[in-house]
A and B are shown apart, each in its own frame.
Chain A
Amino acid sequence: MLNRFYYKSKKIILNSLIHIFLISVAITCVYPLLWMIVSSLKTQETIFKDISLIPSQLRLENYFLAWKAGGFGGHFLNSVVYTITVVFAIVIISSLAAYAFSRLRFKGSKLLFYMFMIAMMIPVPGSFVALFMLLNKLHLRDTPIGYILCMISVGLSVSIFLFKTFFDKMPQELEDTARIDGCSKFGIWWHVALPLARPVLAVVVVFNALNVWNEYILALIIFDSRRHMPLQVALQAFQGEFVTNYPLLMAGLTITALPIIVVYLLMQKYIVKGVASQEVFG
């Protein structure tokens, strides 16, 4: 009797501690987001003076002003197109390559993989200038394709690394079964490996989406005019050399943060315990 009581209370205490821990971390995460949103509703004069989280007046027009002043309409569309294209391309290209490195045997596989790993780690400072010159020579500068190709290359290494780590852990039996059933290598990749790797696929999508969505310096340098610029460029421009209109900046930042949060909400659903084996056999 006493034993059961002991175990039950131990469980309750443990759970409560866990909850306290989770909640305190959660509070530190939520506060900045709240601050950003609340600040976007304040005025330039009160934004730093008034430290409460409840603004005295709700200046919703900051959002309209930010949208108009930043020309967000076109830039938003640009960002969406770039992000979707790049993420899609990276998922396909890097999972193909990672599958090959993980499961297929061919000459130079190890060497190539190590090259990708090394590439991940060497920051090419001022690589913007180099990429700029490269695109110039290829006559791809100031074109969306040039930018997209650059962004794909930037995200490849980490994505390949992420995929390979998870592919390595996949149980071989499922693939063997599929192969016996007459599946081609591509078929195995498409029907077995990718579905099994849903959690890491979600991570790759979020990682690259965030990188492309938040990228601005390469876009700023590669494109000649504002027409092709993504959202971040317009947003960063709110920071003047001397004067920064903070409420507008905060409104802009909030607008910019929303789509990524949506992407994350959609993707994190896939990071669940895979009832994987059943899916493949069924």
Chain B
Amino acid sequence: MLFKNVLLGIFVIFSVLGCSGQKGDLKSTVTVWHWMTDRAAAFQELAKQYETLAGVKVNFELYAPSDAYAQKIRAAAQGINLPDVFGILGEKRDFALFIRAGHILDLTPYMDANSATWKNSFFPKALAVNEFTPNNSYGIIPGIYGVPIDILTIQMVYNKKLFSHLGLNPDQPPKTLDEFLKIGPKIKAAGLQGLVSGWGETWMINCFASNYAFNIMGKDKVLATIRGEVSYTDPDWIKVFSVFKQLQDSGVLAQGLVTMINKSAEQLFANEKAVFAFNGSWCVNVYQGMNSKLEYGAMLPSQASAKYPMSIWGGAGSSFMINARSKNKEEAVKFLIWLTAQDQQAYLAKTTNNLPANKNSLSEIPEVLAQFSRGMDYATHPNIWGISEFSPVIEALDRGIQSILIGEKTPEQVAAEVQKIKEKELAKRRVN
């Protein structure tokens, strides 16, 4: 008897749960999947505004953390089940794969419409990340496939108060690598930490290394290396790897840098335990939350060589793409045009301390953020180089640099190892 009742109970629960049918929506709805926790509230506010304005309901759904979001997008892509608007977190290579699989709407016609008004409202570098140029190595039809909704640059920041403490001029951050290295012993003597950054997360090491590579040998040689025309054992590359050794030896890097996650690095800098940080412009929002009284400024990484300009990574921060198979394509496009318009971008910039992608919206941002935006002139990004390095090579490079930092390998050893892997990868491609 009890058994039967239990079975009945199970049956009832199952039937109740089984009913998940969604009633058809009478209004058009545009569904957006995003991962930006700090902007969730701002997005909801904008969605409300748009609904009154255009009569179209916009459904922002937050799925975080970003690793989980990336997995969700990939699964949905496989199930041909993507929402109207979404983002792709990953490299250009992945972006290309999505386009080739037919998931992404080509936005070039909309960008070029009305004498390219939409296109011209953006910072050119912000669009470049979402663009595939003619003769790109990914085999994608040239065009613009995504919309940037903010930009960011990754630079260095320094604590002005600690600078004075160390006897340095807070308005003159070190311009050359030698000046930077000299600060190392002073930091150690004062019992502080030097540069903090999320170098446990290897991509940040890659970014830093890339910046110095551009500075030491210039963009062309770096791209030539990726193409396989220059070896990683070239003296210029050894110079790049040696920069890390020099930094480590001078004491200007924080302890335990290799195991640091970026969030810990941000803590340290916000709590004024670290003098420098290598971080992106999103950090303005983060530091604001952790220590609103922090006095700091942004600077370019100190130049190792005067031959070529220092470069930093920058460009589109977060971008949205439109599902090519969406039933609400036109509405989605209209919404994104509105979202990236001057006023909305200014609103987002003000409420979330992120740099706007619309070049006309820079008016009301805090000074530090403005310093970050000025770095855009020096900005580049792997996604606009038109070619990607093989991921095993990137991995070997990042791990190799980590080994240099903990003193396990020399720059020459790492260079040789990376080159070996590069040659293996090239050989694989030649055979196919």
Contacts and interface: CB of A to CB of B under 8 A. Distances in A.
A236 interface: yes
Contact of B79 (A45, A48, A136, A216): A136
Given A45-B291, A237-B62, A243 B17 contact: no
A49 B62 contact: no
Given A85-B13, A238-B37, A241-B66, A132 B79 contact: yes
A235 B76 CA distance: 21
Given A45-B291, A241-B35, A217 B64 contact: no
Nearest to B66: A241
A244 B71 contact: no
A74 B346 CA distance: 34
Interface stretch (B129-137, B279-287, B359-367): B279-287
B191 interface: no
A85 B75 CA distance: 26
B18 A144 contact: yes
Contact of B37 (A44, A145, A221, A243): A243
Given A136-B79, A240-B38, A241-B35, A145 B66 contact: no
A177 B222 CA distance: 82
A239 interface: yes
Given A216-B68, A236-B64, A143 B17 contact: yes
Contact of A240 (B20, B64, B75, B283): B64
B17 to A, nearest CB: 4
B290 interface: yes
Contacts of B71: 128, 217, 220-221
B10 interface: yes
B65 A236 contact: yes
Contacts of A143: 17-18, 20
A8 B270 CA distance: 58
B286 A128 contact: no
Interface stretch (A9-17, A223-231, A251-259): A223-231
A148 B18 CA distance: 11
Nearest to A49: B271
Interface string B76-108: 101101000000000000000000000000000
A213 B81 CA distance: 26
A129 B78 contact: yes
Interface string A80-97: 010001001100000000
B154 to A, nearest CB: 12
Contact of A226 (B14, B61, B289, B290): B61
A242 B286 contact: yes
Contacts of A142: 20
Given A45-B290, A243-B285, A243-B289, A81 B13 contact: yes
A225 B65 CA distance: 16
B169 interface: no
A208 to B, nearest CB: 16
B17 A239 contact: no
Given A129-B74, A141-B79, A142-B20, A242 B283 contact: yes
A133 interface: yes
B138 interface: no
A229 B79 CA distance: 19
Interface residues of B, number: 38
Contacts of A224: 81
Contacts of B271: 48-49
Interface in A126-161: 128-129, 132-133, 136, 141-145, 148
A241 B13 CA distance: 37
Q: Is the interface of B mostly helix, strand, loop or mixed?
A: helix
B263 interface: yes
Contacts of A238: 37, 64
A245 interface: yes
Contacts of A243: 37-38, 282, 285-286, 289
Given A221-B72, A240-B37, A44 B20 contact: no
A241 B76 CA distance: 21
B290 A225 contact: no
B54 to A, nearest CB: 22
A81 B64 CA distance: 23
Contact of B75 (A128, A237, A242, A244): A128
A220 B72 contact: yes
A168 B45 CA distance: 61
A113 B368 CA distance: 64
Contacts of B292: 45
Interface in A229-282: 233, 236-245
Contacts of A245: 289
Contacts of A48: 267, 271, 290
Contacts of A236: 64-65, 68
B37 A241 contact: yes
Contacts of A129: 74-75, 78
A216 to B, nearest CB: 7
A245 B66 CA distance: 15
B298 to A, nearest CB: 16
Interface in B260-298: 263, 267, 271, 280, 282-283, 285-286, 289-292
Most A CB contacts (10 A, CB to CB) among B3, B37, B72, B271 go to B37
A150 B286 CA distance: 38
B17 A220 contact: no
A25 B255 CA distance: 30
B63 interface: yes
B79 A217 contact: no
A132 B66 CA distance: 19
Given A221-B71, A243-B37, A88 B10 contact: yes
B36 interface: yes
7 contacts: A45-B292, A85-B14, A129-B74, A132-B75, A144-B17, A239-B64, A243-B289
Interface of A: 44-45, 48-49, 81, 85, 88-89, 128-129, 132-133, 136, 141-145, 148, 190, 216-217, 220-221, 224-226, 228, 233, 236-245
Given A48-B290, A241-B36, A241-B66, 5 more contacts: A45-B292, A89-B10, A148-B17, A239-B64, A242-B282
